Amino acid sequence: MHLQGIYPPLPTFFSPTEELDLETLQRHVMRLKSTGIAGYVLLGSNGEAVHLTDSERAQVVAAARAAAGPEAQLLVGTGTFSTQATIALCHLAAAAGGDAIVVLPPHYYREQMTIDVLVSHYHVVADASPIPVIIYNMPANTGGLDLDAATVLAIARHPNIIGVKDSSGNVMKLAQIAASARPDFAILAGSAGFLLPALAVGAVGAVAALANIAPEHCCAVQQLFREGQLAPARELQARLIPVNTAITAQYGVPGLKAALELIAGYGGIPRRPLLPLDTARRIQLQEVLVAAGLLRQ
């Protein structure tokens, strides 16, 4: 499997009573289909995977596959607290139509997560998984557990582990991994906020929440970089940073769904305990979208 390009991590959509809204999910998949993206990520942090049952996870992947078609790349989040449970979710993801799995490190017993423990966990998962494995480093959602370059490189020695999505924002770490990993090991930035710097040190794309609402813009940053047009790439990257920050670090999943409501006319509510944006924050978000040129006033 060849990873390269921009992958939006899709939200999971819910009805007003917090039931799965698969119709809106498929509408979103179809809307993104012709924007230049490389594929889709399901059941990640933006997909509220921790709020879903195993049955719901399977339904989400199957619905996305039906809308995306057989050729689309579907990357599916399966990381959880135990190795055994992670393997079970890998098989569930593959059976429902996933092409690769994206695995957060286990972090409940954070102080015990030494390099040996983490390498063993990922390698056992990779041995058992019927589809390729992508490492997912997301310190903000793992109690601060941050996989360093040495750990990623040790995990990456397994032939069924094909890449890493890193959301730490540490571009120097990405450069170290790119310099030492095998040639076919793919590095994906975990945010559009540092897409251009990541590309400059060896990343081949990004899993970017912003690509849900501005897919063409995210793809354009990468295309401009490939063409050596660094000045317009830097200008576009800078314009996207405030809105990227708003829908990730500042407002999170409720902000992403509110942005979709404003731009595309759908988005809906998150599942509790998350709450929708209040009116004041929604207005603030709207102003950010207008300033970025993503929404008309």
> Which residues are tagged catalytic?
165
Helix (H, G, I), strand (E, B) or coil at 161: strand
Q: What is the DSSP letter of 246?
A: I
The secondary structure element, H or E, covering residue 22 is: helix 22-32
Helix (H, G, I), strand (E, B) or coil at 254: helix
Omega of the bond prior to 183 within 30 degrees of 0, cis?
no
Neighbours of 129 (CB within 10 A): 22
For residue 195, report the phi and psi dihedrals to the nearest 5 degrees: -60, -55
Provide CB contacts within 8 A for 73, sequence distance 6+: 1, 3, 7, 38, 39, 40, 99, 100
Quote the radius of gyration of the chain (alpha carbons, Å).
Answer: 18
Contact 48, 211 (CB under 8 A): no
